[in-house]
Structure 1
Amino acid sequence: MSQNDNEENGRITIKEAFGKWFGLFLVLISAAVVYLLIINLDDIFSGITYIFGIVKPVIYGAIIAYLLNPLTKMYYRLLIKGYEKKGKKPSAKTVSVIESFTILFALLTGVLIIAILCWLVIPQLITTVISLVETVPSQANDYYNYLTEKIQSNKYLASRMQDTALKFTKYMDNIMNHDLFPWLKSVLLPNLNLYAKQFANGVISFLNVLYNLFIGMIVAIYILNGKRVFIAQAKKIIYGVCKKKTADTLIHYVRISNDMFSGFILGKIVDSAIIGIICFVLMTIFSLPYALLVSVIVGVTNIIPVFGPYIGAIPSAMLILLVSPVQALYFIILVAILQQVDGNIIGPAILGDSTGLSAFWVLFSILFFGGFWGIAGMLIGCPLFAVIYTIIKDFVNYCLKRRKLSTDTQTYIDLKSIEDRKDGYEYITYSPSELMGKKKNKNKEDSKNKQKILSDIIRKMAKKTTDIQSDNKKKKM
């Protein structure tokens, strides 16, 4: 029976009815899902946070495994070379044993590096704090005596400083009586138990982080041991769910992402280690104080692109300033020269063009992702944005190739139009005279706009003056 026969008989099949209202049904379901998501956002985020807290050791383990993976590859190549030199081919069991040893060596290397840093920094930090406690009061007294002597020798400055001191004393007295004491009575003292509880929670959170890191190291061992199986399973899922072309594209960009992240992060670690060593050698040569502690700070913070050197240099300079202002100035000059050497010689030699981003996009990525995730965002922002940039660039180039247009960026500089010719496309650019003409026209338009704005302001002021005068005349009448 045909569809016309069904319509003539006044009947309609279930398939036709479902097809007729299927679009409306999907819209209603989608609207209901969006509404439920919006009204339950707090519960959703709390659930995500809860799940993240549960799997946090696994996340830590994955990060540790990713950082240790290059070390395992290096140790594996070194051990396999021994068999290759002897002309032997290792058995599957031997390869498994070698892989286990490479994981153990990589983990011990990571722990050893952290232990050495703690061994170098913690005693220096304790010594620095003790030294500051012993020397800062006497240095403050010396600075006070020096300033007092200079002020007393200048009558004008002494009178001005006396007035300033009186005003400052009144200001501080006002703050103490009207702000500090009421705050102590109404806020601090009643909430001491709450602050103590928050401090205890902070200590517990720190111990929890250490515990998660310990469990993460165990997880990292299992991830490194089964990484080939995990990668194979991931590829199996991708090829099973997606079409072959889509799966090839996904795996291609995952491979690019891995190359960018591993190359950038490991390159920055090596670069920062070299900068820290050079900084220590130069500070020792110039007899600057706290050489070891400051060099570790400078080296660690140098991992953060662009802003890292300043993050490490500012507190280090403040620390040296407490000992000697002149040495603090020398340190600032030393760090400035060192960063120029790093940015122009050491960094490019180690990192090369690992991300392919210009200086503007590097700065943008650090600010953007740093605003979302803080220090972690600054660390991973550059390679993450480089992956996004690569995907967008490849998509734009794919669209241009489909239209048989040029993918070279230089072709589009000062582009005026693209003309379709029989033998292809012709890219027409603005001539130098046209570019100058555009600038002149723009300047003329800007001057006209300024004159118009100025005339409008004068006209409004004249009208306002006229209105005021007429109001005054009416009041007099």
Structure 2
Amino acid sequence: MDKKPHLKPYIYGMLAGFGAIGLSIALFFLFYRFNGLQKGISLLTGILMPFIYGGVIAYLLRPFCNRIEDLLNRYLPARYRKTVDGIAVAASVLFGLLVVYALFMLIIPQLINSIITLSTNFQSQLDLFMAWLTRFFADNEAVYRFLNDSYDTLRDTFTSWLRTSVMPSIRQIVSGVGVSVLNVLVVLKNVLIGVIAAVYFLSTRKRFAAQSKLLLYSIFRPHWADLILEEIAYIDRTFGGFIIGKIVDSAIIGVLCYIVCVIVGFPSALLVSVIIGVTNVIPFFGPFIGAVPATLLILITDPIKALWFVGFIFILQQLDGNVIGPKILGNTTGLSSFWVLFSILLFGGLWGFVGMIVGVPLFAVLYDLVRKFALWGLNRNGQNDKLKVYHDAFGNPDDPAAPESPAPDSSDHPAT
């Protein structure tokens, strides 16, 4: 008796062909309509910017909100438990607003004072600096003559720069102040709506998580849904642990810098410490980015102290990189120094300052996905012995932040 032909291989082949054709069309559209796609993404991002701000604010405040909620549930009587969520959300949002307000009140007056000092005292400070240099190199006639000639050239160049570059730029700024005010108002509007959206995100975070989990299990098989949830948990640990830990680490560095600046007597101690603390959020390049403007601020007032400040920043960053940072951050990403540098340059070039901050945890997530896919492929192809050879040659890296998950069962794969 003739057996019925098996149609499944043909159906799978047909679907694979249609999928390949559809993917080719999508890639063609992506490459040749990239400008239009960028405009569409920019338009959508501009519309949803308040919710993006709200999501970022809520994510940063979520650990604080959870901690307050746990404390209230532990110590409040049972009859007040219904108000715990509201109190925790209100306290966390108020805490975030107070931190931002305090930073602005600390930075803006110091920044204005430094600009005024630079504009009024630059010529006199330059004269004092050049006088100190000439006294220091008085015994060297060649250097002494070079400094005198350089001083005249520098003074003429600075005067010309003020006349030809700074003043026209100020006129352009004044003429475009209306557009600048409008842009600032748009940003303030987005931030204000973002704060309101953050309140909703925080108050409904548990419901959103439960709804997302139900939707996930309604679309995927339990095995794949569990794997997706594991990866989401890893993403949350990586981003949350790195960003929150980096903020705490930078706050500690800023406080230590302020204490030393006050003790030693560095000028503009508060503004300099804020600059060092804020730029320290950027991995690898942050200390160098913050040290340049901070040193220039001190150089305006006291060149000798500026040299001492450079040495102090070097010691402080060594303390942060070898003691404070590892204690707070631990091994949250599991990336080597090469991949940290690569991720900062890549995402910094794509997204600027934000990319330099989120580039390391984002690349750590991509790296983890590639690692798990490679483990699954080796297990599926029966090549686990090659993994053992690799571990024998280079060691098995300790990666507690990303424990090796079991490879997906090949029986759940539609192509097998």
TM bracket (short chain):
0.7 to 0.9
Q: Does 1:341 align with 2:334?
A: no
1:63-82 alignment runs, 5 A limit = 63-82=56-75
Deviates most, 32-41 or 393-402: 32-41
> Following the alignment from structure 2 to structure 1, what is the Cα–Cα distance between the partners of residues 369 and 23?
29
Deviates most, 31-40 or 323-332: 31-40
> Following the alignment from structure 1 to structure 2, what is the Cα–Cα distance between the partners of residues 25 and 399?
25
Q: Secondary structure of 1:357's partner? A: coil
User: Using a 3 Å threshold, how does the CA distance of structure 1 residues 239 and 413 change in structure 2: closer, same or farther?
Assistant: same
Q: Contact (CA 8 Å) 2:276, 2:290: kept in 1 or not?
A: yes
1:406-421 alignment runs, 5 A limit = 407=387, 409-413=390-394
Instruction: Tell me the equivalent position of 1:135.
Output: 121
Instruction: Tell me the equivalent position of 1:323.
Output: 301
Instruction: Tell me the equivalent position of 1:375.
Output: 353
User: Using a 3 Å threshold, how does the CA distance of structure 1 residues 324 and 231 change in structure 2: closer, same or farther?
Assistant: same
> Following the alignment from structure 1 to structure 2, what is the Cα–Cα distance between the partners of residues 165 and 118?
38
> Following the alignment from structure 2 to structure 1, what is the Cα–Cα distance between the partners of residues 282 and 149?
46
> Following the alignment from structure 1 to structure 2, what is the Cα–Cα distance between the partners of residues 265 and 160?
49
1:56-135 alignment runs, 5 A limit = 56-83=49-76, 90=78, 94-135=80-121
Deviates most, 116-125 or 105-114: 116-125
Shift of 1:210: 1.3
Shift of 1:157: 7.0
Q: CA RMSD in A?
A: 3.8
> Following the alignment from structure 1 to structure 2, what is the Cα–Cα distance between the partners of residues 162 and 391?
61
Any unmatched runs of 5+ in structure 2? 3-10, 396-416
Instruction: Tell me the equivalent position of 2:402.
Output: none
1:213-362 alignment runs, 5 A limit = 213-362=191-340
TM-score by length of 1: 0.70
Q: Contact (CA 8 Å) 1:273, 1:299: kept in 2 or not?
A: yes
Q: Secondary structure of 2:265's partner? A: coil
List, as ranges, runs of 4+ consecutive aligned residues in structure 1 with deviation greater than 4 Å. 18-39, 143-166, 195-199, 406-409
> Following the alignment from structure 1 to structure 2, what is the Cα–Cα distance between the partners of residues 273 and 334?
17
Q: Secondary structure of 1:229's partner? A: helix
| Correspondence for 2:190 among 203, 208, 212 | 212
Instruction: Tell me the equivalent position of 1:405.
Output: 385
> Following the alignment from structure 2 to structure 1, what is the Cα–Cα distance between the partners of residues 378 and 146?
71
Q: Which is bigger in relative contact order (C-alpha 8 A, separation at least 6)?
A: 2
Q: Contact (CA 8 Å) 1:401, 1:407: kept in 2 or not?
A: no
Q: Secondary structure of 2:385's partner? A: coil
Shift of 1:135: 2.2
> Following the alignment from structure 2 to structure 1, what is the Cα–Cα distance between the partners of residues 241 and 56?
15
Larger radius of gyration: 1
> Following the alignment from structure 1 to structure 2, what is the Cα–Cα distance between the partners of residues 260 and 27?
34
Q: Secondary structure of 1:55's partner? A: helix
Q: Contact (CA 8 Å) 2:343, 2:360: kept in 1 or not?
A: yes
Shift of 1:365: 1.4
Q: Deviations over 1:58-87 (max 9, x none)?
A: 11101110001011011111111214xxxx
Deviates most, 31-40 or 238-247: 31-40
User: Using a 3 Å threshold, how does the CA distance of structure 1 residues 350 and 158 change in structure 2: closer, same or farther?
Assistant: closer
TM-score by length of 2: 0.79
Any unmatched runs of 5+ in structure 1? 3-17, 415-477
Shift of 1:143: 4.3
Number of aligned positions between the proteins: 378
Q: Contact (CA 8 Å) 1:317, 1:331: kept in 2 or not?
A: yes
> Following the alignment from structure 2 to structure 1, what is the Cα–Cα distance between the partners of residues 14 and 333?
50
